[in-house]
Amino acid sequence: MDTLAAPLTIAFDYTRSLGPVLGRFMAGLRERRVLGARTSDGRVHVPPLEYDPVTHEPVTDLVEVSPTGTVVSWTWNPRPVEGQPLDRPFGWALIRLDGADTPLLHAVDAEDLNTGMRVRIRWSAQRTGHIRDIACFEPGESDISEISEEFEPVEIMTTPIRLHYQHTTSAEEDRYLRALEQGRIIGQRCPACRKVYVPPRVCPADGVAPDEVVEVADRGMVTTFCVVNVPFAGQRLTPPYVVAQVLLDGADIPISHLILGVEAADVRMGMRVAAVWRDRSRWSTTPENIDHFEPTGEPDAPYESYGEHL
Amino acid sequence: MRRAAVLGTGQTEHRTRRTDVSMAGLCREAIDRALADAGTGWDQIDAVVLGKAPDLFEGVMMPELFLADAIGAAGKPLLRVHTAGSVGGATGIVATSLIRAGVHRRVLAVAFEKQSESNAMWALSIQPPFSAPITAGAGGYFAPHLRSYIRKYAAPDHIGALVAVKDRRNGALNPYAHLRQPDITLESVQRSPMLWDPIRYDETCPSSDGACALVIGDQAAAEASSRQVAWIRATAMRTEPTFYAGKDHVNPRAGALAAAALWSAAGIKQPLDEIDVAELYVPFSWFEPMWLENVGFVGQGQGWKLVESGETRIGGALPVNPSGGVLCSNPIGASGLLRFAEAAMQVMGRAGEHQVPGAATALGHAYGGGSQFFSMWVVGRQP
């Protein structure tokens, strides 16, 4: 049987501080102008380098090159994916712009792409001083107009990144989740150190797969905890809340969970707590079947009973 | 074993946002200062080692590729190192190993973080499917372990605040420090908001943009130097799983093993007597007493007493973090190398206003992950 799997998307709008060289390059794009960097050997690099690879000195000499160039080499992309410059089949090409000595990699919107083809930049309608101001290349020549004034460098560029994964569980995690779907908490015992891991996993200390399945209680003790008072990016609960290490009876390693039903200030190390399950109709293969833990009212566990789990 | 020495150090001004420079420019600011401090030209550098925390922090996969030109690696060997928060320390150790192995004569070690490009807390709080939404951030990860330390050794509440006051005042002596607070007091720290109980706002490291670089050379390069070098007497790295049944988060085994190996390799019997200054990786103030014990300066439960006695201030028996440490500047990928560099600066006599008088032997220390990776070195005025 396949183990449980689900999609995971990670996305963030990263920023790029551009510095003086790339900042001028991006500002140029906004004005439909392409700047290259001239290095000590006289070569013009597009996109510009910030530091000379030969002398290692900062590059200061930026020169304008043509928005028209020649395809040096290319490959065909029959199935574009999310985030690429074009949403229909296109060519990826190395293009040496007139006046530049190094080729630039970009998309060419042409069905009969070939080496030596003359191509020009197709500018984006909205230009903001961003690498995406170049939409792609297309066959043809550009008109070269007058060189304009020096422009203020762009300081920051936003570059959203989105990653799609398929998250697949291990055999041990799968077994644990399917038990949770039935309202049970299981661990597995390491055959070497005999410790019961909840959730079960390959023993991190011995590096061996666990064998014996052990059902553990849905109650235990708080070993240690944190009162979260601070909001932060990615947070899904509203502070303040208590995240505790809960050592379930029968387990040898604590799990992290929420403690509710008690003032945060009254949570104690050694406090006895029990799982509060969601309504049975909502159970599925998720640790969220346990909504939180609450104090049981039993006497606190003595320090000696959890001191080795801190 | 072949000898190695730090010939020069460089670091950036650390700030919340260094929008005036790109990642390459940030690295070069540190590198150019390190080369100048070492009196070394680019043509004398044989290899470059780049340290960087997770790629998700800045959203750049393999930054060593696009940085190769800027960090002077064109035509030379370039290695990337990644061991979470300890990466800066590991970077210094990898560079040292290349020298000690006799492979190279001078190696450039550089580490950086541009936290303003992203949000490290977000990057550390990714929620995979089949997990509960019980994220607490970086502070939330460590706060329970600090609580365990306090409970285990009955440490008084104000110890963390004492460390914060000391480090922030030290940071005011360091022109490169991000946070410089000469007027901070015990009372003001204790009045600051509680973020991750028991960690208060003023006991927490900032998010910084910054970089650090070192030039490390072999014995001949060190002896050819016109300035005092920092001889690398020993290095050590150890790793353990983040979680396992019975893991001691208060006194991690990997840290204790690394320290024992370090002292043995350096021929140091009584670290508290023989080390003049220590740069410990303390992103939350309570880690100072914990690491004092973990690396063996004092016995278990004695760390907070050393802090309380004031002996970890400049002028005390063991000044800890005279630079202000991670509590004042935290460009994560660079923070470990900064500890190593500050230790070197102390024995070179080039630590400026935060120089510990007469410092001849110093410890640089870093940890990372869930107290999982540890890297350390001992440097001295003498080999």
Which pLDDT tens digits describe chain A residue by residue (310 residues)?
A: 689 999 999 999 999 999 999 999 999 999 999 999 999 999 999 999 999 999 999 999 999 999 999 999 999 999 999 899 999 999 999 999 999 999 999 999 998 999 999 999 999 999 999 999 999 999 999 876 666 667 789 999 999 999 999 999 999 999 999 999 999 999 999 999 999 999 999 999 999 999 999 999 999 999 999 999 988 776 777 888 999 999 999 999 999 999 999 999 999 999 999 999 999 999 999 999 999 999 999 999 999 999 999 9
Cβ–Cβ below 8 Å for A156 and B130: no
Closest CA–CA distance from residue A137 to any residue of chain B (Å):
24
Please tell me the number of Cα atoms within 13 Å of A88 on its side-chain side: 4
* A91-108 burial code (b ≥16 CB/10 A, e <16): bbbbbbbbbbbbbbebbb
Q: What is the pLDDT of residues A208-249, one digit of tens each?
A: 999 999 999 999 999 999 999 988 776 777 888 999 999 999
- Which of A204, A226, A287 shows the shortest C-beta gap to B143? A226
Whether A192 contacts chain B with CB within 8 A: no
Closest CA–CA distance from residue B322 to any residue of chain A (Å):
29
Contacts of B246 in chain A (CB under 8 A): 195, 205, 252, 308-309
DSSP string, B290-309: HHHHHTTSS-TT-HHHHHHT
Closest B-chain CA to A303? B152
Q: One-letter amino acid identity for A36?
A: G
* B8-40 burial code (b ≥16 CB/10 A, e <16): bbbbbebbeebbbbbbbbbbbbbbebbbebbeb
pLDDT recorded at residue B73: 96
**Cis peptide preceding B198, ω within 30 of 0:** yes
> How confident is the prediction for chain B on average, in pLDDT?
96
Contacts of A210 in chain B (CB under 8 A): none
How do the pLDDT tens digits run along chain B, 383 residues long?
Answer: 899 999 999 999 999 999 999 999 999 999 999 999 999 999 999 999 999 999 999 999 899 999 999 999 999 999 999 999 999 999 999 999 999 999 999 999 999 999 999 988 888 888 899 998 787 777 888 999 999 999 999 999 999 999 999 999 999 999 999 999 999 999 999 999 999 999 999 999 999 999 999 999 999 999 999 999 999 999 999 999 999 999 999 999 999 999 999 999 999 999 999 999 999 999 999 999 999 999 999 999 999 999 999 999 999 999 999 999 999 999 999 999 999 999 999 999 999 999 999 999 999 999 999 999 999 999 999 99
Cβ–Cβ below 8 Å for B69 and A19: no
Q: Which CATH superfamily is domain B4-118+205-380 in?
A: Thiolase/Chalcone synthase (3.40.47.10)
- Which of B119, B152, B197 shows the shortest C-beta gap to A310? B152
Query: Is residue B256 within 8 Å of B298, Cβ to Cβ?
Result: no
Cβ–Cβ below 8 Å for A226 and B197: yes
Residue A267 three-state SS: coil
CA angle B73, B77, B80 (to 5 degrees): 85
Query: Is residue B156 within 8 Å of A190, Cβ to Cβ?
Result: no
Q: What is the pLDDT of residues A86-106, one digit of tens each?
A: 999 999 999 999 999 999 999
Cβ–Cβ below 8 Å for B244 and A229: no
Closest B-chain CA to A195? B245
Q: Determine the residue among A226, A228, A277, A286 to mutate to test chain B binding: the one whose Cβ has the most chain B Cβ atoms within 10 Å.
A: A226
pTM of the model: 0.96
- Domain regions of chain B by residue span: 4-118+205-380
- Domain regions of chain A by residue span: 5-163, 169-305
Cβ–Cβ below 8 Å for B132 and A243: no
pLDDT recorded at residue B1: 85
Structure tokens at A232: 């932060």
pLDDT recorded at residue A1: 65
Q: Determine the residue among B108, B130, B141 to mutate to test chain A binding: the one whose Cβ has the most chain A Cβ atoms within 10 Å.
A: B130
Whether A239 contacts chain B with CB within 8 A: no
Task: Look up the ipTM and state it.
Answer: 0.93
**Beta bridge pairs of residue A255:** A246
Among A146, A304, A243, which residue's Cα sits nearest to residue B134? A243
CA distance linking residue B286 with residue B268, whole number of Å: 26
Structure tokens at B14: 């650390």
